[in-house]
Amino acid sequence: MKYIAGIDVGGMTVKIGLFDGEGTLLEKWAIPTRTDGGGEQILPDTADSLREHLEKAGASLSDLTGAGIGVPGAVMRDGTVNRCVNLGWGVFSLTEALSSLLCGIPVFAGNDANVAALGEQWKGGGKGCRSIVMVTLGTGVGGGVVIDGNILIGAHGAAGEIGHIQMREDEPETCGCGKHGCLEQYASARGIARVTKLYLKEHPEKESSLRSADHISARVLFDEAKKGDATALEIVEIVCGYLGRGLAAVAEVVDPEAFVIGGGVSNAGTILTDTIQKYYVQSVFHASRGTKFVLAELGNDAGIYGAARLVLNG
Amino acid sequence: MKYIAGIDVGGMTVKIGLFDGEGTLLEKWAIPTRTDGGGEQILPDTADSLREHLEKAGASLSDLTGAGIGVPGAVMRDGTVNRCVNLGWGVFSLTEALSSLLCGIPVFAGNDANVAALGEQWKGGGKGCRSIVMVTLGTGVGGGVVIDGNILIGAHGAAGEIGHIQMREDEPETCGCGKHGCLEQYASARGIARVTKLYLKEHPEKESSLRSADHISARVLFDEAKKGDATALEIVEIVCGYLGRGLAAVAEVVDPEAFVIGGGVSNAGTILTDTIQKYYVQSVFHASRGTKFVLAELGNDAGIYGAARLVLNG
């Protein structure tokens, strides 16, 4: 039997999936990410863990036909990583380094957000679509563009950085990237909490169940909106307005078949996708009004699926 | 000898180029576009003209190995056109219709702006780049996205409609597309003239050589700016500010190697590209700051080059 490994390196854990040659997930597990010492143990740890699991299945590393790996940083077309700050990594050939630990098998690498987008296009919310844009609403706003089943990398590894589309020129606060008015400042989990607090402060006359919450978060906002709190619903409209207009700009460029919305914020469910879509349809060029909005389906497994798909894409 | 035909159908003329099998342009000419009768003569006229020119060269239609064609409308992946209003065309298989007039040779079709982008990427301002976004500043603001040497079509044939990225929410005037605040309203030839007139009206205190011009146009604006008129220079900054911020949004999505700026407005030269780039660098995510800004080089021939390239891409 031949195997494919799908690896998703995060700042806390390395998720590993073992797939058969057709891309069916056989087994998945995670190991801690050891970031000390410049993260030099991460790849050997991963290879050791793969070897152990293969041996338990009565196989060995030589039964792997390929491995895919997603990492939190820019990955160039030739498999070179260009600094993964969270892992302590500098610049080196990720594909060569991992391949040499895995008996020289072909290794394919990508940025984690892009690889997760590929996973969702293949087996998740975007299944059946040739081209999707995945939008990950988490700590930041991440993005991944998949065209005809392949990740769009970009000339500087920066395709899909849609969280940094500038939505407002008059934003006084600074984004983590140093710019002002990025989509991420309004639509990430942190951005949504910020917008919510600001709205409550600027509208002291508005009553809201949000005012009695211990802690304002994106989750609390959507929970109160779903319970019918009028002020929370107004804030949801504001946040989704930014997303709808931002994704309309994305559609003017790549015109995807679907937007797949993932990340922690997407646990809010269809109130999120429906409201984003409402503003999208108002803003987008008429030809692209029919674009689908779907929720991501693979959760934390999107990365290992996408990594395996990198191998199948060859 | 084997030939390739590159055809660019415009509302007034059909431009035709005859290329050798390696893609060298041997001869080019144009015929009138007969749009009467639902434009049903356009393809037969084109085929007849190709036959005549091939016969003059001692060849025949059977020496053509393929033809590419760009048309002013949306073209689906399967070669179906979806209405070309300027030609009187409805919905039909453009590739099949032209192929049957050309002895059954393979025909490849695309939207004219996209095909011109491919021509510029292959032989023009974007030569040597794998991925470019072409921006055509003419009556409208057109766009074409080329990724790894192939046109990005989009799920609804609307990729590259960058003229309809919304730049302002408070724009009172309506764009031709029915939306408000599209990039085209500030940066097309007409949009630039509009912005110029508005600025002169809103700043009656500002002296300017523009006030004595017979007619305000994008060309007049850039001419006066290049002569050093301070007010004209201020307006150039405004117009290029919209373009720089709009193209930054484009780069967050596809991160091209270069932006190729064409269309009538691009005759202004490097004052245009330099000023756009200044605002682009201020707005774009840091990884993409190095994107090149170049002027288009093929002028009206971009379409026939791109059409020939469609054939070579296969």
Helices B270-283/B218-226 angle, 10° precision: 90
For the record, the structure tokens of B227 come out as: 């002569």
A285 and B158 within 8 Å at the Cβ level: the answer is yes
Separation of alpha carbons A3 and B283, rounded Å: 45
Q: Are A160 and B245 inside 8 Å of each other by CB?
A: no
* CA distance from start to end of chain B: 19
Residue A5 scores a pLDDT above 90: yes
**pLDDT on residue A119:** 98
Look at residue A98 in the predicted model and tell me its pLDDT. 98
- H or E stretch at B7: strand B3-9
B288 close contact with A: CB closer than 8 A: yes
pLDDT over 90 at B139, yes or no = no
Q: What is the pLDDT of residue B6?
A: 98
Q: What angle do CA A311, A307, A252 make, to 5 degrees?
A: 100
A285:B248 CB<8 A: no
**What are A106-162's pLDDT values in tens digits?**
999 999 999 999 999 999 999 999 999 999 999 899 999 999 999 999 999 999 999
Among all chains, which residue has been given the structure tokens 């606060």?
Answer: A173
pLDDT on residue B229: 98
Q: Does A150 touch chain B (CB under 8 A)?
A: no
- CB–CB of A267/A232 below 8 Å? no
Residues of B (156-215) whose Cβ lies below 8 Å from A: 156-162, 164-166, 169, 177-179
% of chain A beyond a pLDDT of 70: 100
Residue A270's pLDDT band (cuts 50, 70, 90):
very high
One-letter identity of residue B246:
G
The rounded radius of gyration (Å) of the Cα atoms in chain B is 20
Q: Which of A133, A252, A287 sits opposite B162 (nearest CB)?
A: A252
As a whole number of angstroms, the distance between CA B180 and CA A131 comes to: 28
Residue A25 has pLDDT above 90, yes or no: yes
The pLDDT of residue A211 is: 97
pLDDT given for residue B182 in this prediction: 96
Phi, psi of B161 (to 5 degrees): -80, 55
Residues of chain B with C-beta less than 8 angstroms from the C-beta of A130 = 155
**In this predicted structure, what is the pLDDT of residue B86?**
85
Q: How many CB pairs under 8 A join A and B?
A: 137
Q: Reply yes or no on whether the pLDDT at A209 is more than 90.
A: yes
Mean pLDDT of B211-222: 96
Q: pLDDT per residue over B39-66, tens digit each?
A: 999 999 999 999 999 999 999 999 999 9
8 Å CB contact of A154 and B283:
no
Please, which pLDDT band fits residue B85 given cuts at 50, 70 and 90? confident
Q: Is the pLDDT of residue A31 over 90?
A: yes
pLDDT of A234: 98
- Model confidence at A83, pLDDT cuts 50, 70, 90, reads confident
Inter-chain touch B164–A250, beta carbons under 8 Å: no
Is B150 an 8 Å CB contact of chain A?
no
Residues in chain B: 314
pLDDT score, position B1:
83
